[in-house]
Structure 1
């Protein structure tokens, strides 16, 4: 399997992110993230770690990311 195709990016108001520079940065960041995760995954497999546990842990890493720019809820 290879890196998934890049999606169209949307903001929290469902407006498309259309700035070419922003899209370029997102593409570079996601490509780097994919390659780093792939390398770590392969290293762990070579060291004898279980694939299912690795996948679960990688998912938990993503789920644990915090948004430092989160807007406060307006009631």
Structure 2
């Protein structure tokens, strides 16, 4: 699944230019997108409401916790 990814920035607004960091971000997001797509398709095949499944997936992302915040 091709993803259009943004230019990544750090908390100060500086561009993240490290090629390895950008590669890891892309790989992680591609894997996450595929897992979400698989879960979405499974839910639809099981008869779940599409809108509800989308809402749950969005809610999961919005509720992620930052373990590094102070």
TM-score norm. by structure 2 comes to 0.94
Q: Which runs of 5+ in 1 are unaligned?
A: none
TM-score norm. by structure 1 comes to 0.88
For these two proteins, the number of residue pairs brought into alignment is 70
Larger radius of gyration: 1
Q: Which runs of 5+ in 2 are unaligned?
A: none
Q: Which has the higher contact order (CA 8 A, sep 6+)?
A: 2
What CA distance in whole angstroms lies between the structure 2 residues aligned with 1:3 and 1:44? 22
What CA distance in whole angstroms lies between the structure 2 residues aligned with 1:12 and 1:54? 31
RMSD: 1.1
